[in-house]
Chains A and B, each alone.
Chain A
Amino acid sequence: MPEPLKFTYDINGENFASAGEASMQIKKELRSLGFAPETIRRVSIAMYEGEINMVIHAGGGVAEVLVCPEKIEITLTDHGPGIPDIDLAMQEGYSTAPDAIRSIGFGAGMGLPNMKKYTDEMIIESEVQKGTKVFMRVDVK
């Protein structure tokens, strides 16, 4: 793999049932590229949580995944309502997800904490009423 590989996925915000398809797809790509199971697991879980967040809160968005031999970088961009208080949103258990989402098992306030837990670096840039960009890096060990 001499050149970094780039994968881009449109995350459909209309269809909650299909959320997770991009993560499952990237998992397959990484597996066929021969990455270690633990690396694949970390990337795909972090990306899944991000995908779910974009569907719940932002009406969808775009996920870009840059795959290098030594690291995998995920950038999630949406044009949703933004996050007014990032520190608060990062707290385990804090959630603004609506009841309909909670009833299917999401909205536990663990999405962003999980994304941080499973990555080596996570940077959130957000502007209220403009959107949010989440950058995550997983180092290949």
Chain B
Amino acid sequence: MTVNELASALKLRVVTMPEPDTVVEGGYAGDLLSWVMGNATQGCAWMTIMTNRNIVAVAQLIDMACVIITEGSDIPEDVVQLAEKQGINILATDQPTYETCVRVSSLI
């Protein structure tokens, strides 16, 4: 399933989607960035409440399919711009992290 398809299927808010056709190969949830760096896998959808600029670097370095910002966290405009520039897809939802993981898991 592509990021674009995942976003439509789960009615996720598209914050920025420069690479809509990237395939989602798995999922990972976590807010401690170094922990995520050490354990998340390439091609995953990453569920987090973190919204600072460093999430873009983490997603880019791990080659994630997309970041899904959960729990309705606010996303600063400069983070959106950086993600767009670096080719990182960011989706968002008001749902909690756990529920989002369950829904993602049912689709991939």
Contact = CB atoms under 8 A, between A and B. Distances in A.
A108 B57 contact: no
A105 interface: yes
Contacts of A24: 57, 60-61, 86
Nearest to B52: A104
A41 B38 CA distance: 11
Q: Which interface class (under 10, 10 to 19, 20 to 34, 35 or more) fits B?
A: 20 to 34
A110 B50 contact: no
Given A48-B37, A110-B32, A110-B35, A105 B62 contact: no
B34 A111 contact: yes
Contact of A105 (B38, B42, B52, B63): B52
B50 A44 contact: no
A106 B34 contact: yes
A104 B34 contact: no
Interface string B31-46: 1111101100010000
A32 to B, nearest CB: 15
A83 to B, nearest CB: 17
Contacts of A20: 53-54, 57, 61
B61 A108 contact: no
Contacts of B55: 105
25 contacts: A17-B53, A17-B78, A24-B61, A41-B62, A45-B61, A48-B37, A48-B58, A48-B61, A49-B37, A52-B34, A104-B33, A105-B31, A105-B33, A105-B50, A105-B55, A106-B32, A106-B34, A108-B32, A108-B33, A108-B34, A109-B34, A110-B34, A110-B37, A111-B34, A114-B38
Interface of B: 31-35, 37-38, 42, 50, 52-55, 57-58, 60-63, 78, 86
Q: Which 7 A-B pairs have the closest CB atoms?
A: A20-B57, A110-B34, A108-B32, A105-B33, A114-B38, A105-B50, A104-B52
Interface of A: 17, 19-20, 23-24, 27, 37, 41, 44-45, 48-49, 52, 104-106, 108-111, 113-114, 117
